[in-house]
Amino acid sequence: MNSTRRPRRSDTRQRIQDVALELFAEQGYDKTSLREIAERLGVTKAALYYHFRTKEDILIGLYEDLTRPMDELIAWAREQPATLETKKEILRRYGDQLRDSAPMFRFFQENQAALRELTIGVDVKARMVTMGELMQGENPSLADRMRCLSALFIMHAGVFSLRHVEADPEDKRRAALEVAIELVAAAHTEPPH
């Protein structure tokens, strides 16, 4: 009887971020104006500036929401033994993130050019590369590197690029995971113990 009362401690900030993501994902970052965001929210543009210093700042908030879990996953992965089972688990967890933050992932993927020149280095791909490396063994061949990186790309494809395929999203996700695991397994060599 408090938490749902009325706009608490800036519920607005969150709403701005939600609407922004929605529009950014729909139309692209550059094509989305603050006017639109404000209108859809029923506030004035100036209100946005009370909560965020710039348009870019809104984006940065979203970016951090996306990369925080990725970075946590990376940190966790670094502490695990480089077994195949670990790698599978990484892929599984990555798949979960992908599912939970699909619109955000899609947005960052489709707006790479628009985001490149931002003051903060928005670089989701760098994290994918890092993750790919976590799945390689020692001195991997070029082909193995490709396999590991591709495993991740495939999982993205499973969520975004099979939209035209009529099938249960969960099934697609699982199929992607399956292929990804195949690839990582092919590149795997048991670490020296």
Partner DNA sequence: AATGAATGAGGCTTCATTCAT
Partner DNA sequence: GATGAATGAAGCCTCATTCAT
**What does the binding site for a second copy look like in residue numbers (CB under 8 A)?**
24-25, 27-31, 107, 109-114, 116-117, 125, 128-129, 141-143, 145-147, 149-150, 153-154, 157-158, 161-162, 164-165, 167, 171-172, 175-176, 178-179, 182-183, 186
Rounded Cα distance, 91 and 148, in Å: 10
27 binds DNA (CB under 7 A): no
Compute the distance between CA of residue 90 and CA of residue 81 in angstroms, rounded to an integer.
12
Q: How far is the CB of 108 from a second copy (least distance, A)?
A: 10
Q: Binding segment for DNA among 29-37, 71-79, 126-134, 160-168 (CB under 7 A)?
A: 29-37
Residue 141 exposure: Cα atoms within 13 Å on the Cβ side: 8
- Reading the block at residue 147, the tokens are 């396999």
- Please choose which of DNA, a second copy, none residue 102 contacts, taking the beta carbon within 5 to 8 angstroms, the exact cut-off set by kind: none
Q: Which does 185 bind (CB under 5 to 8 A by kind): a second copy, DNA, none?
A: none
Q: Minimal distance in Å, beta carbon 122 to a second copy?
A: 12
Q: CA gyration radius for the chain?
A: 19
75 vs 142, which CB is nearer to a second copy? 142
- Choose from DNA, a second copy, none: what does 172 bind? Cβ within 5-8 Å by kind: a second copy
Q: Are 138 and 191 in contact (CB under 8 A)?
A: yes
Residue 1 or 46 with smaller CB distance to a second copy: 46
CA distances from 14 to 19, 50, 58, 106 (A): 9, 13, 10, 20
User: At residue 6, what are phi and psi to the nearest 5 degrees?
Assistant: -155, 175
Beta-carbon contacts of 52 under 8 Å, excluding residues fewer than 6 positions away, are 13, 16, 58, 61
Question: Which residues of this chain interact with DNA, rule CB under 7 A?
Answer: 7, 9-10, 12, 32-36, 43-47, 49-51, 53-56
